[in-house]
């Protein structure tokens, strides 16, 4: 009879290691079968930020409850309707000016996970709060290989003036380990892959990477013998899970290899070299990063994730959806129908990327449900309408069942000006973090269960 596997079991090879997904042979799953207690499966929390607010008429439902009509933007997540809640009325007071004048974009992301009002400066004397993900990582981060992962699609900056006298550190970082310590995000999916599947020491990691690059080997080549031995000992259901997981890893590797190639123009000349592992196309880049998040959750490499689609005030254009103007400029729409329609396009593009993640997570079984069932994922912005720069009645979505803690499929309306930090305090407590206050919270958010 097979002995119970530890959740920390790794497939190992020369300079490489691979964490395993949750298998029925692991003690936590056996305990789950014996107790029917969803709490025995790891609970994860994630935060996904989009810039410049939202076209609210295409976002906010009219009706409350589970019979609400999905708006055009939310309709993009129709297949996942039963797995998320729309939360309205939540407010980010720390992002308001409080006498500091302009800078709503920088404040909106600096306050998004901290609930704090950042000090207005573009010098070295930055001052903010500790973010909710880092509060959790400090107390429970030791339960996984990485206390937290900070990811995104645009690189962080730690200096410079990015918004009306606010440092770029505020505009490009939403995770803060301390009041003066922003956590720079990783934007290279190849680098994330290396972190997840590299060896346990720096020397091993460098050696494995060198061999892989020289002989174009897969990380699977290094751990294949270990995987074969494990495969022989597993029951049929776990063999399928292991095979599906290894296939997903190999698929990501292939796509990463393609991302490193130069883009070739019509005349056969490369446009320009790309940083290793960072695709030129935003859609491909975002999907690779969502795959990294899926693998990190599936292997229990981390239980805490933050992700920024772009930095605050981003003026990125989106030519692949026929939006040639900059996002920030469009957000100052002045009620222009054309600009509002373009903003709505961008909003739908972003939520499609989030929908890709939800689909990936819901396709992978774990314990008595799926990975998505065991997550609490916040998606939204620290600005409501980009033209008004208001920070009340924010566009917030909460996806995942939270191991049965969350009753999903609803539009939950809260009284306007309810602190967003009430949601974060509730999440912290459900994660097992000892906290009775966070940011400007005045209690835990009600009606989620």
Average pLDDT (226-246) is 82
Are residues 218 and 160 part of one domain? no
> Domain boundary residue among 226, 241, 264?
264
> Domain boundary residue among 231, 264, 297?
264
Length of the chain: 449
Where do the H-state alpha helices sit in 321-419?
327-331, 337-362
Cα–Cα distance for residue pair 281/259, rounded to 1 Å: 9
Question: What's residue 134's pLDDT?
Answer: 98
Q: Which domain covers residue 24, as residue numbers?
A: 12-41+189-264
Pairing of strands 16-19, 44-49: unpaired
* CATH classification at residue 177: 3.40.720
Are residues 241 and 146 part of one domain? no
What is the Cα gyration radius of the chain? Answer: 22
- Each residue of 26-59: pLDDT tens digit? 754 443 443 344 446 899 999 999 999 999 999 9
**Per-residue tokens: 402:** 């939270």
- Each residue of 307-341: pLDDT tens digit? 999 999 999 999 999 999 999 999 999 999 999 99
Cα–Cα distance for residue pair 436/422, rounded to 1 Å: 10
Question: What's residue 16's pLDDT?
Answer: 66
Are residues 182 and 194 part of one domain? no
Are residues 406 and 443 part of one domain? yes
Which of 99, 10, 112 lies closest to 51, judged by CA?
A: 112
Are residues 89 and 33 part of one domain? no
Are residues 319 and 422 part of one domain? yes
- Tell me if 110 is assigned to some domain: yes
Cβ atoms 250, 31 nearer than 8 A? no
Q: At what angle do helices 420-430 and 132-140 cross, to 10 degrees?
A: 10
Average pLDDT (347-357) is 98
Are residues 200 and 95 part of one domain? no
Are residues 51 and 34 part of one domain? no
Contacts 24+ apart (CB under 8 A), 34-41: 36/368, 38/367, 38/368, 38/369, 38/374, 38/403, 38/404, 39/403, 40/367, 41/366, 41/367, 41/368, 41/369, 41/374, 41/403
- Binned at pLDDT 50, 70 and 90, residue 212 comes out as very low
- Tell me if 169 is assigned to some domain: yes
Distance from first CA to last CA of the chain, Å, rounded? 40
Cα–Cα distance for residue pair 377/400, rounded to 1 Å: 6
Using CA of residue 300, residue 305, residue 309, residue 310, what is the dihedral sign?
negative
Please state the domain count of the chain: 2
Question: What's residue 210's pLDDT?
Answer: 55
Question: What's residue 35's pLDDT?
Answer: 36
Lowest mean pLDDT segment, chosen from 8-22, 96-110, 197-211, 406-420 = 197-211
- Each residue of 86-145: pLDDT tens digit? 999 999 999 999 999 999 999 999 999 999 999 999 999 999 999 999 999 999 999 998
What is the residue-averaged pLDDT of the chain?
87
> Domain boundary residue among 264, 295, 310?
264
Lowest mean pLDDT segment, chosen from 135-144, 235-244, 392-401, 438-447 = 235-244
Are residues 197 and 180 part of one domain? no
Q: Buried b / exposed e across 414-438, counting CB within 10 Å, b at 16+?
A: beeebbbbbbbbbbbebbebebeeb
Cα–Cα distance for residue pair 415/432, rounded to 1 Å: 27
- Binned at pLDDT 50, 70 and 90, residue 203 comes out as low
- Tell me if 1 is assigned to some domain: no
Question: What's residue 262's pLDDT?
Answer: 36
Are residues 96 and 80 part of one domain? yes
Which of 424, 439, 410, 425 lies closest to 87, judged by CA?
A: 410
- Tell me if 273 is assigned to some domain: no
- Tell me if 272 is assigned to some domain: no
Are residues 358 and 336 part of one domain? yes
Which of 53, 160, 49 lies closest to 110, judged by CA?
A: 49
- Tell me if 146 is assigned to some domain: yes
- Tell me if 3 is assigned to some domain: no
Cα–Cα distance for residue pair 410/414, rounded to 1 Å: 12
Question: What's residue 214's pLDDT?
Answer: 45
More confident residue, 245 or 58: 58
Are residues 297 and 183 part of one domain? yes
Q: What is the pTM of this model?
A: 0.86
- Tell me if 165 is assigned to some domain: yes
């Amino acid at each position: 009879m097979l002995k119970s596997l530890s959740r920390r079991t790794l497939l190992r090879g020369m300079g490489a290691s691979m964490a395993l997904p949750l298998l029925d042979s692991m003690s936590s799953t056996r305990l789950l079968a014996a107790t029917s207690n969803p709490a025995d499966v790891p609970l994860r929390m994630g935060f996904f930020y989009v810039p410049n607010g939202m076209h609210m008429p295409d976002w906010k439902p009219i009706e409350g409850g589970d019979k609400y009509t999905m708006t055009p933007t939310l309709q993009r997540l129709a297949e996942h309707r039963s797995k998320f809640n729309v939360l309205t009325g939540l407010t980010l007071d720390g992002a308001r000016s409080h006498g500091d004048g302009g800078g709503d974009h920088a404040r909106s992301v600096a306050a998004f996970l901290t609930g704090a009002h950042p000090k207005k400066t573009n010098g070295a004397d930055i001052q903010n709060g500790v973010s909710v993900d880092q509060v959790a990582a400090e107390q429970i981060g030791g339960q996984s290989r990485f206390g937290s992962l900070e990811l995104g699609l645009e690189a962080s900056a730690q200096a410079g003036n990015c918004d009306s006298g606010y440092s770029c550190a505020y505009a490009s970082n939403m995770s803060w380990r301390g009041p003066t310590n922003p956590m720079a995000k990783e934007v290279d999916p190849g680098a994330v892959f290396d972190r997840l599947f590299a060896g346990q020491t720096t020397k091993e990691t460098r050696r494995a990477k060198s061999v892989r690059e020289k002989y174009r080997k897969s990380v699977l080549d290094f751990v294949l013998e270990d995987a074969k031995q494990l495969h022989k000992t597993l029951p049929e259901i776990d063999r399928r899970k292991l095979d599906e997981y290894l296939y997903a890893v190999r698929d990501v590797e292939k796509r990463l290899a393609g991302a490193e190639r130069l883009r070739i123009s019509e005349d056969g000349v490369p446009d320009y070299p790309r940083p290793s592992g960072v695709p030129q196309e935003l859609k491909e880049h975002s999907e690779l990063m969502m795959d990294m998040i899926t693998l990190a959750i599936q292997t229990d490499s981390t239980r805490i994730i933050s992700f920024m689609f772009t930095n605050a005030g981003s003026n990125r254009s989106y030519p692949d959806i026929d939006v040639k103007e900059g996002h920030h400029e469009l957000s100052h729409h002045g009620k222009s129908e054309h600009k509002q329609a373009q903003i709505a396009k961008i909003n739908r593009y972003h939520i499609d990327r989030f929908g890709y993640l939800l689909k990936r997570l819901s396709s992978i079984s774990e314990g008595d449900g799926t990975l998505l069932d065991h997550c609490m994922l916040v998606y939204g912005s620290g600005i409501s309408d980009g033209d008004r720069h208001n920070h009340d009645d924010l566009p917030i979505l909460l996806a995942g069942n939270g191991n049965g803690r969350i009753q999903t499929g609803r539009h939950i309306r809260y009284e306007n000006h309810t602190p967003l930090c009430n949601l974060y305090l509730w999440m912290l407590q459900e994660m097992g973090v000892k906290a009775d206050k966070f940011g400007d919270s005045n209690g835990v958010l009600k009606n989620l269960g």
